[in-house]
Amino acid sequence: MRDGLREANVPRCHDSLATTRQAVVDGDVYNSHAEWRRSGEIVRVKGKVVVVTGSARGIGRALAERFIREGAAVVVASDIDQESLAASCAEIGATPQVADVTSESQVKDLIDSTEARHGPIDLFCSNAGISHPGGPEVADVDFEHVFDVNYRSHLYAARNLVPKMTARGEGYLLNTASAAGVLTQIGSLAYAVTKHAAVALAEWLSVSYGDRGLKVSVLCPQGVRTRLLLGERGERDNFLTPGAIEPSEVAEAVVAGLADERFLILPHPEVAEYMRRKASDYDRWLRGMRRLQARVRENPGTAMKT
Ligand SMILES: NC(=O)c1ccc[n+]([C@@H]2O[C@H](COP(=O)([O-])OP(=O)(O)OC[C@H]3O[C@@H](n4cnc5c(N)ncnc54)[C@H](O)[C@@H]3O)[C@@H](O)[C@H]2O)c1
């Protein structure tokens, strides 16, 4: 069966379809635009070869789990933490491959061995990330490590995948940055700077290769209830905790964003408003952020109000 609408055009996410029309995509029939839109993740992920880094837990694990549920042909889950990765993959049915994303040779090996076993990678989710508290006093070696995990990992993935994806005329890079990459991060200079770099890299890739079939999305959540935010035993008091969402909610936003091929994926929609405020009056935004910084200094668990 040819893909398309039974009565009209091939569906795009922004087409408004009468509920009586049926969309046919990959041989599957959808009875309405809403149904097709809800299943957009299936259109994007079903039957696809997917890799997710930093997926032994947290957001990466939620992404891997969701992609498997949506019918990906294979989800290769990768992490530096071998033990947690093995346990997680056994639970969710992903294929484990240990890799340290700060090593280009290990990122290359993750890509090459996945493609040798399963065929071309359709969707590569560069998700591993870390934080480190402090400002300019942080030692270079620690700052560099955050830079390696939060930025260079995306560069290594792009360096080894963009030539293949543009040669095929298709391929998708999903890079996890953070709302800190478009706003800032109270209490962590290294996180703020490296996440801005991650957003800049994704923008550049989209501008440079978007017309050659490369799709790029950048994921920019605010607080998410993971170890990174809450600490190993959930002990960390953080101003983002009151508004934090579950990793599964991030995965939900991701599949919707991928279906729309939206560059900026914001699981917390209010981040778009904060970006608008920042762009429309930078000095006012900075004054507001200083007030937030002062409140956080007094009470680290204070709820965020901007
Ligand atoms: N949790 C939040 O509030 C939040 C908000 C915005 C963005 N993010 C981003 O989401 C991504 C996932 O973070 P999370 O919240 O799920 O944290 P997490 O700590 O639960 O998971 C991060 C995973 O990355 C792995 N990892 C760390 N260093 C690695 C390396 N060198 N190579 C391979 N894997 C490595 C860890 O072992 C861990 O399994 C990160 O990029 C993070 O910056 C998180």
Q: What is the pLDDT of residues 74-97, one digit of tens each?
A: 999 999 999 999 999 999 999 999
Q: Give the pLDDT of residue 266.
A: 98
CA–centroid distance, 282 to ligand 1, in Å, is 29
Ligand 1 closest atom vs CA 131: 43
Angle between helices 153-168 and 189-209 (to 10 degrees): 10
By most ligand atoms within 8 Å of CB, the mutation choice from 224, 236, 245, 304 for ligand 1 is 224
In this predicted structure, which of 97-106, 118-127, 190-199, 236-245 has the lowest mean pLDDT? 236-245
Domain boundaries along the sequence of the chain:
1-34, 41-298
Residue 12 pLDDT more than 90? no
Mean pLDDT calculated for residue range 62-78: 97
289 confidence band (pLDDT: 50, 70, 90)? very high
Q: What is the pLDDT of residues 29-50, one digit of tens each?
A: 544 444 544 454 445 799 999 9
**Range with the largest mean pLDDT of 6-10, 177-181, 299-303:** 177-181
Q: Give the pLDDT of residue 62.
A: 98
Q: Give the pLDDT of residue 238.
A: 84
The architecture (CATH level 2) of 41-298 comes to 3-Layer(aba) Sandwich (3.40)
191 carries an active-site annotation = yes
Instruction: Go through the chain and tell me how many residues it has.
Output: 306
Closest C-alpha residue for ligand 1 atom 17: 228
CA–centroid distance, 57 to ligand 1, in Å, is 8
CA–centroid distance, 290 to ligand 1, in Å, is 27
96 lines ligand 1 (CB under 6 A): no
Supply angle C-alpha 54, 153, 88, rounded to 5: 10
Q: Give the pLDDT of residue 303.
A: 58
224 lines ligand 1 (CB under 6 A): yes
Closest C-alpha residue for ligand 1 atom 25: 54
129 confidence band (pLDDT: 50, 70, 90)? very high
Q: 183, 181, 230: which is closest to 59 by C-alpha? A: 230
